[in-house]
Amino acid sequence: MGELKPSGKPFEISKQEVWEAYKKVRANKGAPGVDEVPLAEFEKDLKGNLYKIWNRMSSGSYFPPPVKAVEIPKPHGGGVRVLGVPTGTA
């Protein structure tokens, strides 16, 4: 009996999906995560950074860094809620 061989990359993600995710972050004026890299700095090598993220995600070697916890005041008082801000770098 033949063994089953893995087909392709361990995680199927297209470059288009990575691009669409970036556009959402950009439209939302993405804030720096724990790496403290602002969006403008990330965009200096946008093509290279997006490729690196896509390549690592599709190969299974991407492990997202910790998220930055940011406290956001509740609109009607009563404390804060914690928002997790991921980093954009790979």
pLDDT tens-digit profile of 13-58?
Answer: 899 999 999 999 899 888 787 788 899 999 999 999 999 989 988 8
Stated as kind and residue range, the H or E segment containing 82 is strand 80-85
Which pLDDT score is estimated for 46? 96
Q: Is the four-CA dihedral 62, 13, 66, 85 of positive or negative sign?
A: positive
Please state the rounded mean pLDDT for residues 3-21: 76
Tokens describing residue 55:
């390549």
Cβ atoms of residues 67 and 83 within 8 Å: no
Which pLDDT score is estimated for 50? 94
